[in-house]
Amino acid sequence: MQKWTRDEIVARIAQDIPDGSYVNLGIGLPTKVAQFLPKDKEIILHSENGVLAFGPSPAPEDQDPDLINAGKELVSLLDGGCFMHHGDSFDIMRGGHLDICVLGGFQVAVNGDLANWHTGAQDAVPAVGGAMDLAVGAKCIYVCMEHVTKQGTPKIVEQLSYPITGEQCVNRIYTDLCTIDLKNGQAYVIDLIEGLSFEQLQQHTACTLIDARQSQ
């Protein structure tokens, strides 16, 4: 079965972020969105450790070990950018000042519930970070993840089986097979990888899907 690559997933997200947005990129795959942001858009990136308006990793001679994002990756500060105490940074998150947050996910339920910090396994290391604050604080939540686990288990489900991060917070899901909008407790497929039928997609999804591609 053909799938979009991880780079292709985040490139699709980058193209969908509106000009002028204030955006937080979660640790892991979401941080790669920064590499694909269109040059003709002004998109202001925020990191929960206290950096606002940052850019890509700088050249070796310009690197500052104290200027990093929440994933401990070196970043550059753009014109007009700033850094702040992490308490002030969390005020931005909790105060509803972020337009979009892109997060990874272990599971997403059809009603928008998100699980992305713990699988419940005894040997798993919980890693919630600022995800709970972002999930309820940002105006819009995009989740990017593989459509199924390595064992083939669907990650888009009717009801979460993993510990919850945020209730009814996810607006859109980007996977390696499709793009899904979550509205009013239903899952609308707005994009689908070429070569995969809607019926095949449904077989890999543990909730009822609605084909909304014709209405785009």
Catalytic residues, by residue number, are 48
Cα dihedral 134/168/43/81 (nearest 10): -10
Q: Rounded to an integer, what distance in angstroms lies between the CA atom of residue 154 and that of residue 50?
A: 35
Q: Rounded to an integer, what distance in angstroms lies between the CA atom of residue 12 and that of residue 117?
A: 24
Cβ atoms 117, 131 nearer than 8 A: yes
Residue 31, CA distances (Å) to 99, 106, 110 in order: 16, 17, 25
